[in-house]
Amino acid sequence: MASRSLDAVIDTIGGDALESTCEALRPNGIIVSVVRAPDEAYVRSRGVRAAYFIVDVTRDRLDRISAMVERGTLNLPVGEVLDLADCRMGMIARLLVFEIIWKA
């Protein structure tokens, strides 16, 4: 992988991988971590941005989602549909960084 060639990275490993990923990002690129909150000062010093996306999957939550699907009560509004072939990676990264508000 060429240095500084990526617009966005989704970090599912954490640790040293998160910091070393900064070197692969273009200036103002973004790391979205699902492992831990990135060191904001460090990533800023590297000229990139970071976000922490909390993933907390439990059996109970999956069962509740499954029951909602079966009852037909799961409502997932679609904010925007993009043709992936025409989409810039930066736009995809912005769409990936969001907050889920769970009300069941």
**Listed residue (62, 52, 50) closest to 25, CA to CA:** 50
β strands within the chain, DSSP E? 6-11, 25-33, 49-52
34-42 long-range contacts (CB < 8 A, ≥24 apart) are 34/10, 35/11, 38/11
Model pTM above 0.85: no
Distance of alpha carbon 38 from alpha carbon 14, whole angstroms: 9
Q: Tell me the domain boundaries of the chain.
A: 6-96
Question: pLDDT tens for residues 3-57?
Answer: 777 888 888 877 777 767 888 888 988 888 888 888 888 889 999 998 887 777 7
Q: How many helices (H) and strands (E) does the chain have?
A: 4, 3
Distance of alpha carbon 30 from alpha carbon 52, whole angstroms: 11
Q: With bands split at pLDDT 50, 70 and 90, how would you rate the model's confidence at 91? A: low
